[in-house]
Chain A
Amino acid sequence: MHISKLQLVNYRNFARATVKFEKGVNTIIGENGSGKTNLFRAIRLLLDDNLLRMAHRLDERDFHRGIGEWRGHWIIISLEFTDVSQDETIQSLFLHGAGNITAATVDRATYNLIFRPKATIRQKLGELTAGDHAGLAALRAEISLADYETIFTGKSSADFGDPNVYRSLVGDFDAVTFPTELTPPDIGGIVPGMFSIAREIGFTFVQALRDVVAEFQNNRTNPLLTLLKGKSGEIDPTAFAPISALVSNLNDAIEGLDDVREIRTDIRDTITDAAGETYSPKSLSIRSDLSDEADRLFQSLKLFVGESEVGYEGGIHELSLGGANLIYLTLKLLEFKYQKVKQTFANFLVVEEPEAHIHTHIQKTLFDRLNYDDTQIIYSTHSTHISEVSNVENINILGRDGGVCEVFQPAAGLDRGQIGNIQRYLDAVRSNLLFAKSVLLVEGDAEEILLPVLIKQVLGLSLDELGISLINIRSTGFENVGVLFHDQRIRKNCAIITDLDQAFMDLTPDPLDSDADIEAKKRALGSQTSGAARASRLNAFCHGNPWLTAHFAQHTFEVDFILAGNSAAVVSVLNDVYSDAGTIAQAKADLESGDISRYGARVLTMAKHVGKGWFAIILGKAITPDVHIPNYILTALFSAHRPVTIETLASILEHRLKVQLASGLVFPAQIDAMRDHIGRFRRGEIDLAAVRAEMLTAFPGDRINTILAML
């Protein structure tokens, strides 16, 4: 049995989320603050027997803030389990409480925590006439937390993640329509408080930054003692008899030591001296009481581990933090193995950010090899290194958009082949696309190197600040990765940037063409044809998908860069490409010719001469705040990063003011005046159009004006 689904409705930073789990190891990926801890807390509320019952009493802070007025709303935390069987005796008690019966079998189980207004309030809501907003407001004003109840249900059939289901169960607060049925069967049957589902399964939660050494020192939490306690009960008495005898002999030997006997005699004499024979104890002895019972003896066992020095084993407290954590996790896993023998039919290990506990590589092996039946592991991470280990099908991505957390399953709805492609692609570097707020996909080194520089110089913002991941897919093919961005999967914007490869020379055959010319024309035509085909393929691929857009350089990045008006920038690096003065002069003339067939051929020759990647690095030096970003790159940028917030726009404008100031060509007063406008824009006093107009008036020559005009 394993958890197959977790649904959260109105719980903390989740308005409505569905998290899907597979058998085995599962990963929850998310940046800080994306709700990983809250998600785990939700699971613990249902399954962690160690969580105090008090915790089940939720309060107003547990309501998702996005719903505004919480009064009247419900919080629902719902777990679904699959791989269950009514024929497994060991599961019967669990399924009695939670098993969903369909057509004479039990195919899944559901267990839910519902925090909702009590029946009296729900009844009053149901009595409101549709559209009676005043009545609803008056009723809601009276509701307090005391009017709420926490119930646990099993066997539910409702899909709590569906907004329509929520409206039918809870009500529609906008239309003021509420159900009159107070006991909807879809939410399942109430599991009485005394019957704890949590007790039926094994559940361990390993918190981030746990002080493992302290856990070992505490008798209650020491995982070694738990293991030993389990084992000592099974010891065969005859096998233990010789040990008992040894202990007993040992006790005798200690008691028989001359020094010990001497002390005993001295104590007795002193008492007799002090109290007199009458009042002294009749007998007195010193006994060694090493226990000869198995369970007591076992308690005295301690774990010693040799970590670094050969031949030296130290106590847990001497281990490195990572080492202690490794031992801790290992013992926890072993506990599961034993529990299984002891009839716990399902075990769940929930680990918060294991990168905080143990080294990534060890962890990788640990989770890789971990393969106990009926043990499901769910861990959260914000390390790209770990996400690479996990199967993309077992990944849930938490993303935050404003105050709302969303959950994405990157592999939802994909076929085997597609999943395989993605799985192979997501290596350590690229898996950071799973963490991004938005993604730019490029195909070449030049774009990978120059795009961040262009954006930083012109807009004053790094891609990181914009939350954009720039991924060079090299020759993988855009579709293989682009497929991740979909309504069903990762609901984040992704812009594909590539070349149309249109020829920039006249391709009509000329009788005067040399063999090389003929060959070049043929190649250019080939590129042009395949470019067009690629463009139509990518356009079709993106069509109807709101998360995915494709953007094309008319020719190729370097050519379009000059076409955008940046020949000066390329000219400025000629000395880094060529050393021969003649060649430099010729190249300068080509670049400045304004004839695309000349500067196009030249810039490609330069790139080829030093290598495309190196040429991009060289060119990077020449990127100033005044270069023109090619239009297709700008549209890609603003397709991926949207909406552009006021804060971002204001930062860009501020950056432009700094650029203007640095030019030394403007008066500080002009800058100050514009800064005021930006301030008003920030405070919402004027809109984008107004601030745009002010900028255009004040600094008509600034690059940003054309960019702002696009928004």
Chain B
Amino acid sequence: MFVWNVDDLNADQVKAIEQLGSVFLTACPGSGKTRTLTYKIARELSLLTSDKQRVVAITYTHRAADEIQERIERLGVDTSQLWIGTIHSFCLEWILRPYAIYHPELKHGFRVINAHDTERALELLCSQHCGLRTFDCGHYFTSTGYVISCPDWKQARVDALLQQYWADLRANRQVDFEMILAYAYQLVRDVPSISILLGSIFATVLVDEYQDTKEIQYAILGAILKASKGKAKAFIVGDPNQAIYGSLGGYAIAPAEFSALSGVAFKEMDLSVNYRSSDRIVTYFENFNQLTSRISAGGKYKTFPSLISYDYSTNRDALVAEVVRLIRYNIETMGVPPNEVCIVGPQWLPLAGMTRQLVAALPDYSFSGPGMVPFARDIDNFWYKLARIILTEASPQLYIRRSRWAGEVIAALDLAGINSAEITRKSLLRASNGIFSAETDGLKYLLECFDAIFAALEVDRRSSPMLVEHYEAFVEGSQRRIDKLVADGATAIAEVAMFRKVFDEKTGITVSTIHGVKGTEFEAVIAFGLLEGMVPHFNENDKIAAANKLLYVICSRAKKNLHLISEVGRQRWQNNVYQPTDILLACSFGYDQIP
């Protein structure tokens, strides 16, 4: 049985972990949710009685999955019976691939296209359906059909476009991320044996960030849990206050509703002590708490005299200068380390531009942000997987991670039809570590390394159509990004050093969207673009709730200082400018002035 040190967990966390049966856990920001989940998984793994069972954990991102897996491995727990990944990976690996032959549209094989391919396909269709833009095409599937997110008056046209898009996908035997869920649901619905088998393989199903889970995902997981007839336990964790993916269909299901769907009886529990932020920060973001439960601070910064400022007078032309001033103040006056500073903006703003201007204004600091990734970040692309290994150093700290990445590369080789019987994780890493090249152009360097590794492994990369296809997608996608970034003035982006930075541990100042900072924490958070129409997005139905959740997420990231900006003069439509977010303006609080 897995045991932990007394100091590892607090009483509430231990209670949640040791609770028998299924648990529905509401975890406030900074309450150690990931830690709780990690230890819960470790414990469930140690409780397995048969090597034919699996513990399945669904995370919102690949990164979170990687992180939790690494943490469990560091705890010394064998993870061979753990499957952890996103819901899309889950559907792909446990449902679509094994049971494709039972779906008329999948039985002849299929290829998953990535977000980049989807975007290009939609761009092309949009150019044929005049007046539509790719962001109009947002849609998601439900157990009964699909939902198009754009305003009503465009719905019919978007629908027509999507019909054509889906027909094209079918004709090419392609599956995009949304379709993965739709097909998985159809399989589970139409072939009950799948749920019966999976329901008896899974001892425990854990879901992280349930508040961002879609109805169709609940339906898939619910069907599997139901078929297990109580044999599989569930552990559902999340925070309804942070449900910021409503526009994509994500919502926090009520425990009773999921209980009815899955036939699982849940014990409802919560973690309400925040170990991250100061009292002042907690008190502030409680303004945006929509639940009845109250949160209290209990960590080492509890009594820290936080500075919380709100600026609704800076003009957008002076925004960069103001952000620079706040960065300097926090780092140079308050002594906050650069990697503990985060700049947050709504995802509908061009953050890449902000990053580049900051890079120019603060040449002494390094940044990591959306504009700074010089190649196509497609997690399912074989060459991206290999690039991760090439661009990271062989070091003891990274060994577990790189070894796992190597495992993924070998698995992908298998999938691509390459005989990988003689390739081991070690031999792959050795081949990668053994490469030396003086090339300074990042992309050229990568391509050179690809060839060198394949030569070392004695494999011809042209022998597999999948590898060729991925190769073209990777090279083309990367070149497009680099060209765009260089054209925007970020000339250094093409260099190997910038490529390497992508996988560096957090070293510089982070620039991120609001959605991108989920699950992270920083000593100082500087948020801008807090404007009605962006926060909340004009498409939202319940604007007040949406705004509350976004602000809740932003504000609860900060450990010490929080700076909010609703800049003035940002153009909206033709003759209008954006106004500050209503509920933020309406919030009365004793804000601090930053000297």
Contact = CB atoms under 8 A, between A and B. Distances in A.
B231 A89 contact: yes
Contacts of B463: 118, 120, 146
B193 A193 contact: no
B411 A192 contact: yes
B414 A182 contact: no
A188 interface: yes
A200 B97 CA distance: 20
Contact of A92 (B52, B108, B415): B52
Nearest to A88: B200
A537 interface: no
B108 A93 contact: no
Contacts of A53: 421
A188 B415 CA distance: 15
Interface in A91-142: 92-93, 95-97, 99, 101, 104-106, 118-120
A104 B417 contact: no
Contacts of A528: none
B417 A119 contact: yes
Given A93-B52, A149-B419, A106 B193 contact: yes
A57 B198 CA distance: 31
B98 interface: yes
A183 B421 contact: no
A189 B99 contact: yes
A581 interface: no
B245 to A, nearest CB: 31
B191 interface: yes
B420 A193 contact: yes
Contact of A101 (B50, B191, B417): B191
Interface in B173-225: 191-194, 196-198, 200-201
B322 to A, nearest CB: 53
Contacts of A92: 52, 196-198, 200-201
Contacts of B198: 92, 96
B421 A57 contact: yes
B465 interface: yes
B411 A194 contact: yes
A120 B101 CA distance: 22
Contacts of A182: 109
Nearest to A193: B414
A155 interface: yes
B108 A183 contact: yes
A175 interface: no
Contacts of A96: 98, 197-198, 201
Contact of A95 (B192, B197, B415, B422): B197
B205 to A, nearest CB: 14
Contacts of B109: 182-183
Nearest to B407: A194
A54 B421 contact: yes
Nearest to B468: A120
A699 B252 CA distance: 104
B107 A150 contact: no
A510 interface: no
Contacts of A50: none
Contacts of B50: 89-90, 343
Contacts of A190: 97
Given A90-B52, A189-B101, A181 B108 contact: yes
B58 to A, nearest CB: 18
Contact of B417 (A57, A149, A188): A149
Given A182-B109, A192-B414, A86 B196 contact: yes
B102 interface: yes
Contacts of A343: 50-52
A192 B415 contact: yes
A111 B439 CA distance: 48
B411 A86 contact: no
Contact of B107 (A149, A185, A193): A185
A619 to B, nearest CB: 68
B132 interface: no
The contact size tier of chain A is: 35 or more
A87 interface: yes
Given A118-B463, A119-B417, A86 B108 contact: no
Contacts of A120: 463, 465
Interface string A595-613: 0000000000000000000
Interface in A69-92: 86-87, 89-90, 92
A11 to B, nearest CB: 19
B100 interface: yes
Contacts of A188: 101
Contacts of B415: 192
A90 B51 CA distance: 10
Contacts of B200: 89, 92
Nearest to A153: B101
A96 B192 CA distance: 13
B201 A101 contact: no
Contacts of A192: 97, 411, 414-415
A96 B196 CA distance: 10
Nearest to A56: B421
A101 B107 contact: no
Interface string B111-154: 00000000000000000000000000000000000000000000
Nearest to A181: B108
B421 A118 contact: no
B505 to A, nearest CB: 29
Nearest to B110: A183
Nearest to B411: A194
Q: Which of A146, A149, A183 has the most CB of B within 10 A?
A: A183
B411 A119 contact: no
A150 B52 contact: no
A99 B201 CA distance: 14
Contact of B192 (A56, A57, A104): A104
B419 A86 contact: no
Q: Which of B193, B411, B463, B464 has the most CB of A within 10 A?
A: B193
B465 to A, nearest CB: 6
B465 A119 contact: yes
Contacts of B411: 192-194
Nearest to B196: A86
Nearest to A154: B98
Given A118-B417, A181-B108, A104 B99 contact: no
Given A53-B421, A54-B421, A118-B463, A99 B108 contact: no
Nearest to B50: A343
Interface in A451-492: none
B250 to A, nearest CB: 29
A623 B250 CA distance: 98
A444 to B, nearest CB: 60
Contact of A150 (B191, B419, B464, B465): B419
Contacts of A54: 421-422
B101 A155 contact: yes
Interface string B33-51: 0000000000000000011
Contacts of B191: 101, 104
Nearest to B100: A189
A190 B463 CA distance: 19
B23 to A, nearest CB: 22
B403 to A, nearest CB: 15
Q: Which of B101, B102, B414, B419 has the most CB of A within 10 A?
A: B101
24 contacts: A56-B421, A86-B193, A86-B196, A92-B200, A93-B201, A95-B197, A101-B102, A101-B194, A104-B191, A104-B192, A118-B417, A118-B464, A151-B417, A185-B101, A185-B107, A188-B101, A189-B98, A192-B411, A192-B414, A192-B415, A193-B420, A194-B411, A194-B414, A343-B51
The 10 closest A-B pairs by CB, nearest first: A183-B109, A185-B107, A89-B200, A92-B200, A185-B101, A101-B193, A93-B52, A193-B414, A53-B421, A92-B201
Given A87-B196, A93-B52, A184-B108, 16 more contacts: A53-B421, A57-B419, A57-B421, A92-B198, A93-B201, A96-B197, A99-B197, A101-B99, A101-B191, A105-B193, A182-B109, A183-B108, A189-B100, A190-B97, A192-B97, A192-B411
